[in-house]
Amino acid sequence: MTKYRKAVVLGGSGLIGSRVVDRLRKSGVEVVSASRRTGVDTLTGEGLDKAFTDADVVVDASDVHSFDKETLRKFFTVSGENVARAEVAAGVKHHVTLSIVGVDRIRGNPYYAAKLAQEDMASQSGVPFTIARSTQFYEFFPTIAGGFTTGSVVGLPNALLQPIAADDVAVALVDIALSPPKNGPVYIAGPERDRFDRWLTRVFKLTDDPRSVEVDSKATWFGATLENDSIVPKQTDYSGHLKLEEWFATPEAKRALLGDRYAEAVAAIEQERET
């Protein structure tokens, strides 16, 4: 492990960022959690210079929620430029970008194109870097299911998925952040690999979701045609240990998958206990 004293987590209030902030603090590093709610806006550059003062390492776990190609491209490239400029000025020793397995392999998905541009900004900045490419988070399953639902049927691409719990991603990112820069990619993935439809069948069984699941050979990954192994890693440097069903045992995981139905489920369990 490298001896870093101060870290900045961009997107420190997010799903992954908040977990990275907690774990870095527990490891004894001083951490700035940076996002718009703490006065740091990567898109305008506001607050970056102050946040990066004396920082050794920066973990970028920020994100923008949009389906618009131009909004995505702008967020990741303009933010990438602003972050790189501020890091060079502050003498940051290690930049970590949280990216996605497959960004360099698939075409036609605007989000992946924007993430690839973000990776390029980080690798060309002159700051020593590591690109941490992760597979999909378990917490992302409701978005996946929603994106492929027509009526009561979920028609999914004929491809493999190797998802991972957000907690396991955070463990990997902290290790990556405190290790020497790789100046290249490392790969983070979950403990099991299976086809999309089999994953969604497991998720729906856990959440009592009545939708039926099928393989749709015409389904694209938000615009990109997938090969069998387009979004699973060829090598795994960091493997998550939590299997889907073990992960789902925690209230936080239940809340992530059940959404609005979580409160209902808790009330039903409490009523069952009382009777």
Query: For residues 62-81, which are near ligand NAP according to CB under 6 A?
Result: 62-64
At which residue do the structure tokens 């990619």 appear?
185
Nearest to ligand NAP of 1, 147 (CB atom): 147
The two three-digit tokens of residue 65, written as one number:
């929620």
Nearest to ligand NAP of 27, 71 (CB atom): 71
Helices (H), 105-208: 110-123, 141-147, 166-178, 196-207
Q: Does residue 6 bind ligand NAP (CB under 6 A)?
A: no
Sketch the per residue contact string, 76 through 105, with ligand NAP: x for CB under 6 A, - otherwise: ----------------------x-x-----
Nearest to ligand NAP of 25, 212 (CB atom): 25
Residue 163, phi then psi, degrees to nearest 5: -70, 170
Element (H, E) at 69: helix 69-90
**Least Cβ distance, residue 137 to ligand NAP (angstroms):** 4
**Least Cβ distance, residue 163 to ligand NAP (angstroms):** 7
**Least Cβ distance, residue 218 to ligand NAP (angstroms):** 23
Chain centroid to CA 137: how far?
6
Sketch the per residue contact string, 12 through 51, with ligand NAP: x for CB under 6 A, - otherwise: -xxxxx-----------------xxx--xxxx--------
For 90: left if phi > 0, alpha if psi spans -120 to 50, otherwise beta; the answer is: alpha
Nearest to ligand NAP of 41, 194 (CB atom): 41
**Least Cβ distance, residue 50 to ligand NAP (angstroms):** 13
Please, what is the angle between helix 196-207 and helix 251-258, to 10°? Answer: 110
Sketch the per residue contact string, 164 through 203, with ligand NAP: x for CB under 6 A, - otherwise: ----------------------------------------
DSSP 182: -
The two three-digit tokens of residue 216, written as one number:
């749709």
Query: For residues 120-139, which are near ligand NAP according to CB under 6 A?
Result: 134, 136-137
Q: Taking CB positions, which residue lies at the least distance from ligand NAP?
A: 14
**Least Cβ distance, residue 238 to ligand NAP (angstroms):** 13
β-strand 153-156 against 160-161: which pairing, if any?
unpaired
Nearest to ligand NAP of 122, 127 (CB atom): 122
Instruction: Show Cβ contacts of residue 95 under 8 Å, excluding neighbours closer than 6 positions.
Output: 57, 58, 60, 83, 84, 87, 122, 125, 127, 128, 129, 130, 181
Element (H, E) at 58: strand 57-60
Q: Footprint of ligand NAP on this chain (CB under 6 A)?
A: 10-11, 13-17, 35-37, 40-43, 61-64, 98, 100, 115, 134, 136-137, 140
